[in-house]
Amino acid sequence: MAVVGTVLPPWDVDYTLDEFKVGTLKWSSQFTDDSAKNVCPVTSCKLYAKDCKAAVDSRVTLTADPWTMSMKTNEPEGYSADVCVECSNGDQAGTKAFSVTQRPRCIKRMTAKASAGKLAVLTFTGDAKMGAALSNIAETFFENDNADGECPVTTCSLQEAGCTKDWTETSLLAARKSGGVWELAADFNAPYGYIREVCIRCTNGGDVGVLKPKYWPRQTITYDNYKIQLPSRCNYAMTERVNIPTIYSKNHDDAQVVDPVIVSGFGEFFENADAKNCPVKYCKLYNPDCKTLHSQDNLKMDATSPWKITIGDNVENGYQDAACMVCGNEW
């Protein structure tokens, strides 16, 4: 009797609520009597441990012809067992070793969400304490099939991009538990702002009924290369005023000695909510595209604050011109 075939049924199964998973092992594909050309059929099969001598794991059983094997599949922790099957045709026996595995209960439940994106942009608040940038890390980045209530997310953490090293800048960004969920906490008080790239890591688990309410990890999943940006405190300090005029007009005056001021300074166009920390450092006059410098001589801007704009009053026939005022603050 010779051992043939190299592939056994894939006894690598998921957790189920059923006590046993049943499958038929086709021993005819694993054993044959070459000399008798299969006229000596297999008459008995037995299960042993890996050494083909010791008793097999009790969670794996074999019943009579057609030699149906069953394995227990409701173990929350999961398990693996090395098995040896010995079959005989009455005169000769053959053995073959293989393994069976029941995966832990919560494996394969979590998947990454494509909708999570790759960037979070925060807003400077000046709060001394770290605040929540994301209120629920797990729900933001992952789907977790927990319909049976057995596999909640039990931990979330940050790692460096690449997901191989623990995150160390915990005063800037951190994963922390709040109200039963894991939130992404961030520093909203960095004056110059920051950009960091992190890996999000979460693990689900299940209460196996021993030492309640202890949770045992089942699946760990990561979401890599997520960027978190806090622009500087001055990034939002300036805003455009509402209801400002878009057309300025001035009549020619022969008695005018100097060019008249039509805009008293940047304050006519912009509000600066944090003038103390974010003073306006420059203003420039651009063409209407706000990209190229103004090229006409009729409008001129002072080189210093508050950057008044004057209009040339030396063209008797009048003229029209257009411009864009661009100003920048401290950072």
pLDDT digits (tens, 9 = 90+) for 186-201: 999 998 899 999 999 9
pLDDT of the residue at 93:
85
The residue assigned the tokens 């400077």 is: 124
Q: CA-CA-CA-CA torsion for 118, 124, 126, 129, nearest 10 degrees?
A: -10
44 token code pair: 């008995």
Using DSSP bridges, classify how beta strands 215-230 and 119-121 pair: parallel, antiparallel or unpaired. Answer: parallel
Q: Where are the domains of the chain?
A: 2-102, 110-230, 234-331
d(CA 59, CA 48): 12
pLDDT of the residue at 77:
80
The residue assigned the tokens 């070459």 is: 34
Beta strands in 103-180 (DSSP E): 110-112, 119-121, 131-134, 142-144, 153-160, 173-178
d(CA 110, CA 142): 6
pLDDT of the residue at 64:
77
- Residues forming beta bridges with residue 184, ordered by sequence position: 134, 175
pLDDT digits (tens, 9 = 90+) for 209-259: 555 555 556 889 999 999 999 999 888 888 998 887 777 766 666 666 677
* Domain 2-102 belongs in CATH node 3.40.1350: no
pLDDT of the residue at 6:
46
- Residues forming beta bridges with residue 311, ordered by sequence position: 299
Regions of the chain where pLDDT drops below 50: 4-7
